[in-house]
Structure 1
Amino acid sequence: MTQVFFYHDASDRIAAAAVLIGKAFAQKKALLVFAPEAAVADAIDRQLWLHPPGSFVAHVRAESPLAAETPVVITRQLEQPQQCERLFSLADEIPEGAERFASIIEVVGDDAEARNAGRERVRRYRERGFAVSFIDLAGRG
């Protein structure tokens, strides 16, 4: 069964995503980053060059010839994912074929619109039988 982890109340969704991706990278966990919007894919790519300060998260775009040997791959499409263990979704909707992944990580912003969209995704994941967990990034519990 796919486990979905919702990290919520992020004041900066892209920065929070980069921190979480950096933690997975430090633990030597391969990660597919799904960012279907070009602006979001570009933003997370830039952020991964900056975070964590003083170090480097090895990452490439899915179309890179190095994608098969790079631990963090950013993709705008999930037609043929390189790996199906961990998906980091920066999409506004549940990714097609989400059940192929062992775990999915989502980051939800702290504004009302982001929270409402996140709640809707939680509802849809649960309707599909996915196990859902929540982590508060604002530290309120």
Structure 2
Amino acid sequence: MTEVLFYISNTPGIRARLAWRIAEKAWRQQRRVYVHTASEQDAQALEALFWQQPATAFLPHVLANDTIAAGTPVVVGFGDDPGEHHDVLINLSTTVPDFYSRFTRVAEMICGDPEQRNSGRQRWKFYRDRGYPVQDHHL
């Protein structure tokens, strides 16, 4: 059964940095990561940010439509197809993607503004109502 982890913080603007930290930790554990965003524009912005965060580290990643995505440990994408990655899903969308159950682990984040917190509560309820074990980590 898919393990669902919620990372909860009151700090605004932390989602991208937190996604990087979770992806980096999973990569170091030799896991394959798919970072799901709401749109192509969000995916491109996050991928660019991943090249800059932090300046002293490296996280091997590409956009999902890149020709080397299948062989890259961390992929950033959007839409309905996570490609070859089915180990760790980091969901940065406001909704639960249809393919979430293909993954061993799902990382969700609730950070910042009231709208984001509300959509996070809806995602928590979605998983709980389907019987998934949900764990929370308060940051």
Are the equivalent residues in 1 in contact too, given 2:86–2:102 (CA < 8 A)?
yes
1:87 match: 89
Q: Which runs of 5+ in 2 are unaligned?
A: none
1:2 match: 2
Q: Return the alpha-carbon distance in structure 1 between the equivalents of residues 40 and 81 of structure 2.
A: 17
Secondary structure of 2:67's counterpart equals coil
| Offset, 1:120 | 0.9
Structure 2 counterpart of 1:134, which letter?
Answer: D
Of all paired residues, the percent bearing the same amino acid is: 32
1:16 match: 18
Secondary structure of 1:129's counterpart equals coil
Structure 2 counterpart of 1:81, which letter?
Answer: G
Structure 2 counterpart of 1:6, which letter?
Answer: F
| Offset, 1:114 | 1.3
Structure 1 counterpart of 2:2, which letter?
Answer: T
Q: How does 1:52-71 map to 2 (within 5 A)?
A: 52-71=54-73
| Offset, 1:80 | 5.3
Structure 2 counterpart of 1:104, which letter?
Answer: V
Are the equivalent residues in 1 in contact too, given 2:31–2:87 (CA < 8 A)?
no
TM-score normalised per structure 1? 0.88
Are the equivalent residues in 1 in contact too, given 2:34–2:76 (CA < 8 A)?
yes
2:130 match: 128
Q: Return the alpha-carbon distance in structure 1 between the equivalents of residues 82 and 72 of structure 2.
A: 16
CA RMSD of aligned residues (A): 1.6
Structure 1 counterpart of 2:81, which letter?
Answer: E
Q: Pick the aligned partner of 1:46 from 48, 55, 60.
A: 48
Are the equivalent residues in 2 in contact too, given 1:19–1:52 (CA < 8 A)?
no
2:105 match: 103
1:64–1:24 CA distance, 2 compared to 1 (3 A): same
Q: May I ask how many residue pairs the two structures share in their alignment?
A: 137
Secondary structure of 2:131's counterpart equals coil
Q: Pick the aligned partner of 2:32 from 17, 30, 33.
A: 30
Q: Return the alpha-carbon distance in structure 1 between the equivalents of residues 4 and 110 of structure 2.
A: 13
Are the equivalent residues in 1 in contact too, given 2:51–2:58 (CA < 8 A)?
yes
Q: Which runs of 5+ in 1 are unaligned?
A: none
TM-score normalised per structure 2? 0.89
| Offset, 1:36 | 2.8
